A and B are shown apart, each in its own frame.
Chain A
Amino acid sequence: MKTTSFWKEFTKGIVISNPLFVLVLGLCPALAVSTSVDNALGMSIGVTFVLLGSNIIISAIRKIIPNMVRIPIFIVIIATFVTIVNLVFHAYVPSLYESLGIYLPLIVVNCIILGRAEAFASKNPLLHSIADALGISIGFMLALLIISFLRETLGTGSLSIFGARLFTLPILGEHPMAIFVLPPGAFLLMGLLLALLRRLGVIKSE
């Protein structure tokens, strides 16, 4: 019984309540950093760490948090983890820290994380909260990878991961559709992807 519900909480975040494609939460940091696959990976790792950390702590102390100060408590916990991510990225992966820029500290106000704290971790046991955090993070990462893959390949005509050039497309390599790496391209692509996923029935409309 326990393992099945653990599995259920885990898989739920990946497809049926995917944070970006279904819940459509946290769009600002997602669309801003999805210009390259590297950035998307870095952002996802940051979000995973923060979400896992905050879900674990909040779930562990959920029974003693006074109700009227719960939101400030959540924010303090989330901000602590975000600052840790910030310091660690700055120290060990400075190039990623540079390219994520202001969006890394902005994970604090990412509604996915506060949303999971309020809607899930503060009401559910520890193990389920861990499953929920992992599932949502993987869903976030997959969605971000799809968007950033399309934006990088269409917008620059080539794909490189960790500085290594993987491939260059024949015609697009010389005449890339630069709009896709610009902000309007992010909205355009996000809209098209949502429409496609709905058409394919991956996302059910209510």
Chain B
Amino acid sequence: MKTTLKKIFPVIFVTVIVFMAVALLSWTNSITKDKIEFQEEQQIQSMLGEMFPDMSRYAFEDDIYTIYSDEAQLGYAFLALGKGYGGSINILVGLENETTIKGISIISQSETPGLGARIGGSSFVGEFTGLSIDDVALKQDGGQIDAITGATISSGAVVDAVKATAVERVKSLQEKE
């Protein structure tokens, strides 16, 4: 009896510690959750402002941000989620109209610093500006985007996410009309 207890004690101990850790973390999460969401919204708002300098307000409905200036509709924006080398890549994509990309920004990513992380750099992100959605593909696949040397997976992840989500969102925009 004593020896079985001795054998299973480490298991019980680890379980207890893990449960305590989970409890502590979910408590921290509940405190910080709203604040983090607020920060992310602020970030998206400032990115939208950079993408559409004339923006005065925006509306968010069915996963699509519709951007307005004082008098006209400027375009749309939406979030895309790519599967990168080091985890998910959050991308904000702006559309000028239903066929042309206005620009993209990387909201968050965890790619390898110095390699995949360069998807956040202006030279890569800038390649999307003004492209037609049909041309969003790596050059090796017949598109217009140059992959970053040594970071084909990260580059491809951004391209795939932008293209797939753009096609989907444009479809839902057209259905609404």
Contact = CB atoms under 8 A, between A and B. Distances in A.
Interface of A: 32, 64-66, 68-69, 72-73, 76-77, 79-80, 83-84, 87-88, 90-92, 94, 101-102, 183
Interface stretch (B29-37, B68-76, B141-149): B29-37
Nearest to B39: A94
A30 to B, nearest CB: 14
B43 interface: yes
B77 to A, nearest CB: 20
B10 A87 contact: no
Contacts of B35: 91-92
B113 A32 contact: yes
Given A90-B36, A101-B113, 12 more contacts: A69-B13, A73-B14, A83-B25, A83-B28, A87-B29, A87-B32, A90-B39, A91-B32, A92-B35, A94-B43, A102-B86, A102-B110
B28 A88 contact: yes
A68 B113 CA distance: 35
Contacts of B43: 94
A80 B21 contact: yes
9 contacts: A32-B113, A65-B13, A68-B10, A76-B14, A83-B28, A87-B29, A91-B32, A91-B39, A94-B43
Given A91-B35, A94-B39, A102-B86, A66 B9 contact: yes
A77 B21 CA distance: 7
A13 B163 CA distance: 53
B18 interface: yes
Main DSSP-derived SS at the B contact region: helix
Nearest to A68: B10
Closest 7 CB pairs of A and B: A91-B35, A91-B32, A66-B10, A80-B21, A69-B10, A87-B32, A94-B39
Interface string B114-143: 100100000000000000000000000000
B24 interface: yes
B165 to A, nearest CB: 23
Contacts of B117: 101
A66 B25 CA distance: 24
Contacts, number: 53
A23 to B, nearest CB: 24
Given A87-B36, A91-B35, A102-B113, A66 B24 contact: no
Contacts of B114: 183
Contacts of A88: 28, 32
A94 B13 CA distance: 36
A72 B14 contact: yes
A90 B32 contact: yes
Contact of A80 (B13, B14, B24, B39): B24
A77 B86 CA distance: 24
Nearest to B110: A102
B17 interface: yes
A72 B36 CA distance: 30
Nearest to A79: B21
Contacts of B110: 101-102
A68 B13 CA distance: 11
Contacts of A65: 13
A66 to B, nearest CB: 4
A76 to B, nearest CB: 5
In this complex, which of B17, B29, B35, B113 has the most chain A Cβ atoms within 10 angstroms of its Cβ?
Answer: B17
A92 B21 CA distance: 22
B46 to A, nearest CB: 11
B78 to A, nearest CB: 22
